[in-house]
Structure 1
Amino acid sequence: MPQASPVKKSAVVFGATGLVGKELLKLLLSDNSYKKVTAVTRKKMLINHEKLIQVEIKDYNELANFSDKLHADAYFCCIGTTIKKAGSQEAFRKVDHDIPVIIGQLAEDLSVPSLVIISSIGANASSSNFYLRTKGEMEASVRKVYSGSLKFVRPSLLMGKREEFRFGEKTAIVFMIIFGWLFFGPMKRYKGIDAVKVASAMIKLADERSGKLVYESDELENLVI
């Protein structure tokens, strides 16, 4: 008796133009287990692929209005900015806290089975550091609105080529290229990680149904070895 073909999946990528989001989109489009990939972006990307559907949205507060186009087996949230780029702490929080929560609520409303979100190493709702506190509060807020299979990935310094220039990040990447070999044992989680490895790990985690919620940077590395 012939075996039934595996059911192919669909995915939605939020933040598909960022460093990890771009790598994630490429991997999903080349993954034969996914039949459809929807990219939610603020402006249309110059990419054509038979599996790709693009949804342009200017205001994430209106995300629910696009719900008919966003049914999927897995959501991947790669949304993130910097305080400098956002212009203020308030504007930064609207992106790095509020948008993932909106995405989590939609995933709950549409019964999306799996949600994988990029957070940050050191995320802690009790941190005195505004950036890390915001990431920690985001994680806590998403947990309140989404009851499916939820995974937070906490990468260290992301290695890869961004469209925008970040001087501090570039300096840190050069340091990591030279001295990264010194990061081992308990320090391994602070070693820089390639964006494509984070993306690959996120795809694996979308199929993971264990109760584990948070994956640190060194654990992401181990997933794709």
Structure 2
Amino acid sequence: FFATMDRAGDAVGSALVLGATGQTGSALVRELLAGSTPIATKVVAYGNSRLPTYNGPNQHLFSGLQAPMEDLAGSRVNELMGFDSIFIHVGTQRRKAGLEGQIRLEYDNTLAIAKAVKGFGCRNCHIVTSTGANANSSIMYLKTKGRIEESLKSLNFDRLCIYRPAALYGGDRTSGFFHRSVLPCLSTLGLVQRIQVDHVARAIRLIAGDQSGFRKKDGKVEIYSNTELHQICRAT
């Protein structure tokens, strides 16, 4: 079910990155701008509560901005104009934001921003969710991730890539209860395989830029499991 694809319409082009101050988001920024010919023509990275920074190659292509997602979905929505691709990795801890705050950030604001960029002509959407994401799950975290996946599908981007890593380590999501406690237990039991944050970011770069030879070949929606993310990193 993998195939090499080379279609100019699928180039990353100008990239908007949400959640760029977390370890996964910052790793993705590094990947998008890596090398002598980066896959992004520019990267505008937003942090929800603090300013994203980047000091690597092709720094002239990077802009970091701080904005609450509520503002991007509302009063600052015009800042979302002019992007070819959006990369979404947002999340918060329920103990900090509360259940309503978590859902508002990870579902309501995320969907509003995705709708806005689609309306402004953005063609490609990439989102990091989680192993087990399911809109019908009894676990609220997985239910929210599943709901945003389903809602993004309905927006009909030219290309929607959904990445479902399992127990991340070396990054910010290890601080959340589900990734700190539940997935590591499943990993210990051999039910899921842990994956490094940097490996997830690398796989996204390879898939987004059609550089891996592992792009799924049919349809506008591509879903990459934790196992497939591992396969892509091992094969390149």
User: Fold-level match, TM-score > 0.5?
Assistant: yes
Judged with a 3 Å threshold, the aligned counterparts in structure 2 of structure 1 residues 70 and 23 are, in CA distance, closer, same or farther, namely: farther
Q: Distance in 1 between matches of 2:132 and 2:149?
A: 12
Q: Spell out, residue by residue over 1:167-188, the C-alpha distance to the aligned partner (whole angstroms, 9 max, x if none).
A: 8856779879xx76x84xxx4x
SS of the counterpart of 1:116?
Answer: strand
Q: Distance in 2 between matches of 1:127 and 1:170?
A: 19
CA RMSD in angstroms comes to 3.0
1:21 equivalenced with 2:28 (yes/no):
no
Judged with a 3 Å threshold, the aligned counterparts in structure 2 of structure 1 residues 8 and 149 are, in CA distance, closer, same or farther, namely: closer
Q: Is residue 198–residue 220 contact of structure 1 (8 Å, CA) maintained in 2?
A: yes
> Offset of 1:152 from its aligned partner?
1.0
State which drifts further: 199-208 or 131-140. Answer: 199-208
TM-score, with length taken from structure 2: 0.76
Judged with a 3 Å threshold, the aligned counterparts in structure 2 of structure 1 residues 193 and 52 are, in CA distance, closer, same or farther, namely: same
Paired amino acid for 1:97: Y
State which drifts further: 121-130 or 46-55. Answer: 46-55
1:97 equivalenced with 2:112 (yes/no):
no
- Partner residue, 2:40: 34
Q: Spell out, residue by residue over 1:48-81, the C-alpha distance to the aligned partner (whole angstroms, 9 max, x if none).
A: 5211112321243543634355422221101112
Paired amino acid for 1:23: A
> Percent same amino acid among aligned pairs?
26
Paired amino acid for 1:148: D
SS of the counterpart of 1:50?
Answer: helix
> Offset of 1:150 from its aligned partner?
0.5
1:81 equivalenced with 2:85 (yes/no):
no
Judged with a 3 Å threshold, the aligned counterparts in structure 2 of structure 1 residues 141 and 169 are, in CA distance, closer, same or farther, namely: closer
Task: Kindly tell me the number of residue pairs found equivalent between the two proteins.
Answer: 211
> Offset of 1:121 from its aligned partner?
0.7
Q: Distance in 1 between matches of 2:79 and 2:180?
A: 40
SS of the counterpart of 1:222?
Answer: helix
Q: Is residue 134–residue 146 contact of structure 2 (8 Å, CA) maintained in 1?
A: yes
What pairs with 1:12-161 in structure 2 (closer than 5 Å)? 12-31=16-35, 32=37, 33-42=39-48, 43-48=50-55, 49-63=59-73, 65-68=76-79, 70-86=81-97, 88-161=98-171
Q: Distance in 1 between matches of 2:110 and 2:67?
A: 15
SS of the counterpart of 2:127?
Answer: strand
> Offset of 1:45 from its aligned partner?
3.0
Q: Distance in 2 between matches of 1:199 and 1:122?
A: 19
- Partner residue, 2:203: 201
TM-score, with length taken from structure 1: 0.79
Q: Is residue 116–residue 150 contact of structure 1 (8 Å, CA) maintained in 2?
A: yes
Q: Spell out, residue by residue over 1:97-122, the C-alpha distance to the aligned partner (whole angstroms, 9 max, x if none).
A: 12321232123112212110011110
> Offset of 1:142 from its aligned partner?
1.6
Paired amino acid for 2:89: C
SS of the counterpart of 1:205?
Answer: helix
Which consecutive unaligned segments of at least 5 residues does structure 1 have?
1-5
Q: Distance in 2 between matches of 1:168 and 1:147?
A: 29
Q: Is residue 77–residue 116 contact of structure 2 (8 Å, CA) maintained in 1?
A: no
